[in-house]
Amino acid sequence: MQELLLQKTILVVDDEDDVRESVREVLSDEGYRVIDTADGTRVLDMIRAERPELVLLDIWMPQVDGIGLLKEIKSQEPDINVVMVSGHGNIHTAVTATKFGAFDFIEKPVSLDGLLTTVQRALGELPGSAAQEKAAKGARKAKTAKPMVSRPQSDAAAQTIKQKTLKKSVVLSGQGLHSGVKTGLILHPLPPGSGIQFTGISADVTVPAHLDYVGSTGYATTLRSKGFAVGTVEHLLAVLHSYGITNLLVKVQGEVPIMDGSALEFCQAIEEAGIEEEDAELAEIVIDKPYQFDAKGGESISIEPADEFSVRYVMRYPAPVGEQEYTYHHQGAQSFKSEIAPARTFGFLRDIAKLQNMGLANGGRLSNFILIDDEKIVNTELRFADEFARHKILDVLGDFYLLGRPLRGAITARMTGHSDNIALLRLIREGMKL
């Protein structure tokens, strides 16, 4: 009897009998009390009678519109989490559902792993895999653990920082710069020790924002795992890095939207959601000695020990870009938002056809990047005289969050790109045994 009282109740609403049956079996096997109905008109009455902690709601049903029913549920029972389910959904449907209060959105055919992970998050439980649980436990022990770095005794001790996530989910819509596909972004809070994870709307495969999962670095950083890939992650990661967000689930369809070419809208989204400190800490990475990577074309990037995190970028192009140099000293989210986040992606007119032949830059628009020809900037006024150098720093900040922890050291980069950033990260990891 005591076990029954402790069971959490889940209401499954779907007009397909086989879907309800399979979901009921899976969730019952996990110890949940499951009730279900094919009749959307009964849902509110069942919620009042059964008081479920979670509703799994099909978005397409013959009697009612799922989005309309979602609005009614959230209006009358705002504390009940609702996960929308659909066999005809895409990221735009997911974004719409989230805007109207859905906790999350998953697609049919429902993945077992994706379903259980979503249910556990919605019920405030830790992610279900043993590896994630182990990571969470390790994070909770971080207060007493020694920093995982080797460094001279004269260096300042590594700081431990509070892990952070968002207070609530937040959504954005936009277009992929390289794919040209209209896409969206849903950011969900995660518990301590989860890290930054990317997934699609089915949530069946996640790819951590980590160096081990870098799939390509041609004109953008792409992460890959088990057939799932997400591109152009660097601007969003730069924002998460600068705001200290350590645990987050990012739902996206193929490519993070480029927005206006800068990171400002990502900053605004993070601030809209609010940041929540979690009851766990992790240690920053303190650079122990100089590391340097030199590329064949004369590009170079290096890092050395320092009392803070900074990035100096040196750029030497022919006119109209010319010589630009900027040094950014990270003093927190507001310094990033004012100095680096507004700097936009840029590209040269002579390269556009080449990129499109490679299947890239198909989403480039005059409103989402700076276009340069041989004589001038074609489509906009610069936000900073050195906006191009600042944008390169934005890319560095994003790529350098792929070790999973904040880093302390002074970076100097000359004419480098994503491939060089990743190469230096690998040298650091090898040298420091991270």
Q: What angle do CA 12, 18, 20 make, to 5 degrees?
A: 10
In angstroms, rounded to a whole number, what is the distance separating the alpha carbons of residues 185 and 183?
Answer: 7
In angstroms, rounded to a whole number, what is the distance separating the alpha carbons of residues 75 and 57?
Answer: 15
In angstroms, rounded to a whole number, what is the distance separating the alpha carbons of residues 170 and 430?
Answer: 36
The continuous run of DSSP H or E covering 154 comes out as: none
Q: How many residues does the chain have?
A: 434
Q: Helix, strand, coil % (nearest 5) of the chain?
A: 30, 30, 40
- Residue identified by tokens 């879907």 is 19
Name the burial class of residue 356, with classes exposed (0-12), middle (13-18) and buried (19+) by CB atoms within 10 angstroms of its CB: middle
**Is 383 in contact with 343 (CB distance < 8 Å)?**
yes
Catalytically annotated residues: 418
In angstroms, rounded to a whole number, what is the distance separating the alpha carbons of residues 200 and 94?
Answer: 10
In angstroms, rounded to a whole number, what is the distance separating the alpha carbons of residues 418 and 398?
Answer: 10
The structure tokens listed for 26 are: 């899976």
**Is 207 in contact with 123 (CB distance < 8 Å)?**
no
